Chain A
Amino acid sequence: MSVAKPLPHDAAALHVTGAARYVDDVPCPTGTLHLAFGLSDTARGTITKMDLHAVRTAPDVVAVLTADDLEFDADTSPSNRDEPLLSTGEVHFAGQPLFLVIAKSHLAARKAATKAKVTIDAQTPILTIDEALAENSRFEDGPRIYEKGNAEDALTQAPNRLQGQLTLGGQEHFYLEGQAAMAWPQESGDMHVFSSTQHPTEIQHKVAHAIGKPMHAVRVETRRMGGGFGGKESQGNALAIACAVAARATGKPCKMLYDRDDDMVITGKRHDFRIDYDVGFDDQGRIHAVSFKQYTRCGWSMDLSLPVADRAMLHADNAYDIGHMRIESHRLKTNICSATAFRGFGGPQGMVGIERVMDHVAHALGKDPAEVRQTNYYPSAKSVAAGKIPGTTPYGMEVTDFELHEMTDALLAKANYAQRRAAIADWNAQNPVLKKGIAFSPVKFGISFTLTHLNQAGALVHVYQDGSVHLNHGGTEMGQGLFQKVAQVAASRFGIPLDMVKITATDTGKVPNTSATAASSGSDLNGMAVKAACDTIRDRMADHLAMQHQTTPDKVIFKDGQVQIGDHVISFADAAQSAWMARVSLSATGFYKTPKLKWDRIRGTGRPFFYFAYGAAITEVVIDTLTGENRILRTDIIHDAGASLNPAIDIGQVEGAYVQGAGWLTTEELVWDDAGRLRTHAPSTYKIPACSDRPDIFNVELWDIENREDTIYRSKAVGEPPFMLGISAWLALSDAVSSCGPAYPALNAPATAEEIWRAARKVTQDV
């Protein structure tokens, strides 16, 4: 069997030789034209004049398009039809595309795009949460509220109560391959699109609208992305549509790449949040009630903000069984780029809220925060299986697969948490300038799209007469190793070596109506769809071979590249040849839909998730209290990937996610100026973790236990959940700051050097 083996990424040999092709590496047909957007420099206003003469007459410019030139509905929104490709007169954020330059080279298009003279009648932009609240500028009529029990009464009755507030910054995806697309016009006005996208079907759908064609006239192909992280779930729409519209206008292939600075200015990012909390608890640290108010800046358009904000609410409990909870969520419309999907999809923001509460309560009681966390855990899966009543989330879903009691015990022991915590306290007592901190944090993350109909997938599998297999499914490859995992499933079903399976580009012409590769669901959904397709073919082959050898299909075994039929053994290739000669179809589709889901997002009740994935992390840091400078010294992680389909790939996901999560909460700071312009629009000003920031000691293990639900080979989704292990780095920094004095640090995120310095001063001065 190929599954469960730590095999390298399917394209590893291509990656290390530079031969792997991304969209920008696909050779362009002769005559390909290149595109660039002209952008607004104003955050809000009305265009009064747009003089494009200098743009049109710039060298190598072929054409310039404005909204008036667009014949059909060139809208780029994945949700709400509120994002015209080019401004129709109103300007909603600094960086909004106003016009489209079509030129003979990428550089010519970019140079020309800067030459427009645009006059905008500027209005005061709505930039901050407070400004949006003051103007009641929001999506949906009012806040969404999920409630369990009666938080208000329980807060009043609790022995102890405290309140606090936390601000959480957004995050730039910084996929190392920027957004890219190419459209190649075909006969009859059809369009073949290459797009760096997590959602080829969405690109197909939006491009079809934009060129006034049915979806069957548009074919979208995605071999791989150079990173996605949610940033290519909807943000690639504009480029693909621009290419298709320009290709239709000129009859030439058109290609568009965002320059990095443009990419960071135009595209959406992780939602930033402000979270107000009110918590009631007893002297043992048991939380009786929590009330959260979550405020998020969604930016100028709806995009995916509603389900993102929903998921923040759905993770406001994280791992804790709290009797009374109220979560109020405000989705605010502001004049900045439209915030979008990013690994965790709101879950991390919700989770940081409750982890702050746990930390604050532990500080108030003078208890070990790890102990307070364990005190509040949901009942374990084992105890539930033995008859204990399961805990219920604030949205009414029973938690029956809770693994964290055992995982936490194992991690605390493995990382010598108690001894190290004591040693750090001693160290801090002796060192006035450098302070160390340590923190534990758990993750419980819900797996499934909360938009229930998205939990479906399709696959197409062919077996050729030489026994080689062509594999296709609706998932996209962005580096997460999905293609390899799914190929391992196919190889296992046929009992053949992996090199007999050809992994092929995601293609809307092969598998239709796909969901985005998102919500960590890629291998769960597509693995099952591929299994179904392979099993259909395998059963047909078994029926044929059984009949041929006077036996029954259950006596036909596919194993080690061979097929055993009773006493006969033939190669898989011979079996395929034999089936073909007997006119047996060797091609099949497969389909899967996730079972057991039932969710009402308005009332906030039901079962939005098929299961939960768990993780636990301990991080140790050191800070310089005079400068705020800081380092991660050691990280220990145990993560639950179920029965892993590929441990090498899964551990890679855990490590990368942790570092990305820690980056979000530490160095990655987005700064908009008072005019609403993003000032951190390149890696020179926006700091993602580098090699030198990796923890000195980094121990990662998988928690080896099967998924209790019937997923593909009992594995669990692994893309997003470990991102939130990075919360332990932020909590460790808070712990280090708290050693400076008795006051609670109330550290905001990102905990940049400046923020740590500020918090340390505050804690010291509050003495």
Chain B
Amino acid sequence: MTKVHVTTTINGDPTEFLCEPDETLLDVLRDRLGMTGSKEGCGTGDCGACSVTLNGRLVCSCLVLGAEAEGQEIGTIEGMAQGENLHVLQKKFIEHAALQCGICTPGLLVAAKSLLEKNPDPTEEETRYWLAGNLCRCTGYDKIIRAVMDAAKEMREAA
């Protein structure tokens, strides 16, 4: 198959790549661009481990084709911290011990950031249901919710 030439923006950086027409954005990120922060948990859009944003919209990158990134803005976990400075959500995940094996963590952070961009003051229930598409097998979710609620509060106070 002829490869597709894609010009896109990832975490604010102009990026170009070649990919197969049927190659997922997740595979492009991981295998072609070396951005392995997005994880494959199921490959069918059910677990959220590959969560990224596409023009600000939360998507499973395993369900998006690399070619669909043409001209779009992609946001991944690698773009969340500003250099050494962690995003508030990242700090709160560490502070609240909201992670164990860590493999769902990037997807959860991307999803939580997307929530707070849309709704800076979510209720606990809204947060729980927003994050229900991101599976975690280790933590039981309690500390994750606490971390997100705490981060939202801090971000509101700083705003």
Give the residue name and chain of the B residue nearest to A692 (CB).
Answer: B132
B78 with A683: CB separation less than 8 A: no
A656 with B102: CB separation less than 8 A: no
- A646-659 near B? 1/0 per residue, CB < 8 Å: 00110111011111
Decide if B159 is an interface residue (CB 8 Å cutoff). no
A691 CB contact (under 8 Å) in B90, B95, B97, B141: B141
- Least distance between A454 CB and chain B CB atoms (Å): 23
Q: Which residues, 128 to 179 on A, are CB-close (under 8 Å) to B?
A: 173-178
- Least distance between A14 CB and chain B CB atoms (Å): 7
- B96-114 near A? 1/0 per residue, CB < 8 Å: 0101111111100100000
Decide if A396 is an interface residue (CB 8 Å cutoff). no
Decide if B14 is an interface residue (CB 8 Å cutoff). no
Chain A binding surface SS class: loop
Cβ–Cβ < 8 Å partners of B99 in chain A: 9, 12, 15-16, 479
Question: A221 vs B129: C-alpha distance in the bound complex, in angstroms?
Answer: 38
B43 CB contact (under 8 Å) in A260, A651, A700: A260
B97 with A479: CB separation less than 8 A: no
- Least distance between B159 CB and chain A CB atoms (Å): 22
Question: A224 vs B99: C-alpha distance in the bound complex, in angstroms?
Answer: 14
A226 with B102: CB separation less than 8 A: yes
Cβ–Cβ < 8 Å partners of A224 in chain B: 101-102
B46 with A683: CB separation less than 8 A: yes
B104 with A176: CB separation less than 8 A: yes
Give the residue name and chain of the A residue nearest to B130 (CB).
Answer: A691
Question: A164 vs B133: C-alpha distance in the bound complex, in angstroms?
Answer: 39
- Least distance between A13 CB and chain B CB atoms (Å): 7
B102 with A690: CB separation less than 8 A: no
Decide if A682 is an interface residue (CB 8 Å cutoff). yes
- A468-501 near B? 1/0 per residue, CB < 8 Å: 0000000000111100000000000000000000
Decide if B81 is an interface residue (CB 8 Å cutoff). yes
Question: A574 vs B43: C-alpha distance in the bound complex, in angstroms?
Answer: 53
Question: A682 vs B43: C-alpha distance in the bound complex, in angstroms?
Answer: 10
Question: A730 vs B139: C-alpha distance in the bound complex, in angstroms?
Answer: 20
Question: A657 vs B94: C-alpha distance in the bound complex, in angstroms?
Answer: 20
Question: A411 vs B54: C-alpha distance in the bound complex, in angstroms?
Answer: 48
Q: Which residues, 1 to 15 on A, are CB-close (under 8 Å) to B?
A: 6, 8-9, 11-15
Question: A683 vs B104: C-alpha distance in the bound complex, in angstroms?
Answer: 14
Question: A473 vs B137: C-alpha distance in the bound complex, in angstroms?
Answer: 25
**Residues of B within 8 A of A (CB-CB), count:** 54
- B123-149 near A? 1/0 per residue, CB < 8 Å: 000011101111111111111110000
- Least distance between A12 CB and chain B CB atoms (Å): 4
B132 with A691: CB separation less than 8 A: yes
B101 with A479: CB separation less than 8 A: yes
Cβ–Cβ < 8 Å partners of B76 in chain A: 18
Known: A176-B39, A652-B100. A17 touches B139 (CB 8 A): no
Cβ–Cβ < 8 Å partners of A649 in chain B: 97
- Least distance between A90 CB and chain B CB atoms (Å): 31
Decide if B7 is an interface residue (CB 8 Å cutoff). no
A176 with B46: CB separation less than 8 A: no
A690 with B132: CB separation less than 8 A: yes
A694 with B140: CB separation less than 8 A: yes
Please tell me which stretch of A19-27, A608-616, A709-717 contacts chain B, meaning at least 4 of its Cβ atoms lie within 8 angstroms of it. A19-27
A682 with B140: CB separation less than 8 A: no
B36 with A25: CB separation less than 8 A: yes
Decide if A259 is an interface residue (CB 8 Å cutoff). yes
- B40-51 near A? 1/0 per residue, CB < 8 Å: 111110110100
- Least distance between B73 CB and chain A CB atoms (Å): 18
B37 CB contact (under 8 Å) in A17, A24, A690: A17
B103 with A690: CB separation less than 8 A: no
30 sampled A-B residue pairs with Cβ under 8 A: A6-B97, A9-B100, A16-B90, A16-B93, A24-B40, A25-B30, A174-B135, A176-B39, A176-B47, A176-B137, A178-B41, A224-B101, A479-B102, A652-B138, A652-B143, A655-B139, A655-B142, A656-B138, A657-B140, A659-B139, A659-B141, A682-B42, A683-B47, A688-B135, A691-B129, A691-B141, A691-B145, A694-B140, A694-B145, A700-B142
Q: Which residues of B contact A (CB under 8 A)?
A: 27, 30, 34-44, 46-47, 49, 76-78, 80-81, 86, 90, 93-95, 97, 99-106, 109, 127-129, 131-145
Q: Which residues of A contact B (CB under 8 A)?
A: 6, 8-9, 11-22, 24-25, 27, 107, 173-178, 224-229, 259-260, 478-481, 648-649, 651-653, 655-660, 682-684, 688-692, 694, 698, 700
Extra contacts, 16 of them, besides A16-B106, A479-B101, A658-B140 (Cβ < 8 A), are: A16-B93, A18-B37, A18-B78, A107-B27, A176-B47, A176-B103, A225-B101, A227-B103, A478-B101, A653-B100, A655-B142, A656-B100, A656-B140, A683-B42, A691-B132, A698-B140
